[in-house]
Structures are given as C-alpha cells and as structure tokens.
Amino acid sequence: EVQLLESGGGLVKPGGSLRLSCAASGTAFTGYTVNWVRQAPGKGLEWVSSISAGGVYIYYSDSVRGRFTISRDSADNSVYLQMKSLRAEDTAIYYCAREIPGTPFDHWGQGALVTVSS
C-alpha cells in the first residue's frame, strides 16, 4: 500500500521559516513527480510546487516563488519543502501528492498544518 506521510508543520511567527517533509513508503516515489498542495482554512486547493523524479524540473506557484524551495532525497524516499519569509496567508494544511507527469495526483498524504501567527 502506498503511504505518504508529511511532518514538520507547526506554529511560526511571520517572517519565520519552517521545513516540511514528505516520506514515502517503500519505492512509492521512485519515478514519480511529487507535488505540494495547500489548503487554507475553509478554502479550496492551491498547487504550490512540484519536483520531477530526477529532481531536474522544479516549479513553483507565483505566490511562493522566491520564498519556498522544494527538494528531494532519493536515498530516504523523501521530499522537502523549505519555507522562508512566511506570511499569515501561508497558513494552511500542506499536502504532498505524487503524480506521473501528464496524469493526476493518485496518492496524497494526510497533510501537515502550518500556522503563521504572532
């Protein structure tokens, strides 16, 4: 069974930093692009960033470009989202989700809550 598990969420002050991790069971990430998607309280889904299977192709939404950095470590089957200069509007549940390029997100993690507040 494919399992994705996010960790690293929490409460951080505006302007602060946080790093989220997404760990996959077994070889669940092998050959897959991995995405981060967030959902602000009571709101819809917003795609944030993606990283290709080999880590070569990386993309960001306009709302986080220059502040967030996505990376992956094939050795431990994990993908990371380094978040800096956090703002109140970054408060959300952050999900990781995998995809084969050109297909939708077939598995999602359970989400990690990030709260940006003073």
Partner 1 sequence: EIVLTQSPGTLSLSPGERATLSCRASQSITSTFLGWYQQKPGQAPRLLISATSTRATGIPDRFSGSGSGTEFTLTISRLEPEDFAVYYCQHYGSSRKTFGQGSKVEIK
Give the residue carrying structure tokens 């598990």.
5
Q: How is residue 110 annotated by DSSP?
A: -
Exactly one of 8, 9, 21, 46 binds partner 1 (CB under 8 A); that residue is 46
Question: How far is 56 from 88, CA to CA, in rounded Å?
Answer: 31
Dihedral angle sign, alpha carbons of residues 40, 44, 48, 51: positive
41 lines the binding site for partner 1 (CB under 8 A): no
Q: Which of 44, 56, 75, 118 binds partner 1 (CB under 8 A)?
A: 44
Q: 72 and 55 in contact (C-beta within 8 Å)?
A: yes
Partners of 22 in beta bridges: 6, 79
- Check binding of 98 to partner 1 (CB under 8 A): no
* The one among 28, 47, 63, 84 contacting partner 1 by CB under 8 A: 47
Of 13 and 65, nearer to partner 1 (C-beta) is: 65
- Among the listed residues 18, 20, 50, 78, the single contact to partner 1 using CB under 8 A: 50
Q: 29 vs 109, which CB is nearer to partner 1?
A: 109
From residue 117, how far is each of 23, 64, 114 by CA, in Å? 27, 18, 10
Q: Decide if residue 64 touches partner 1 (CB under 8 A).
A: no
Q: Which residues bind partner 1 (CB under 8 A)?
A: 35, 37, 44-47, 50, 57, 59, 61, 95, 97, 99, 102-106, 108-111
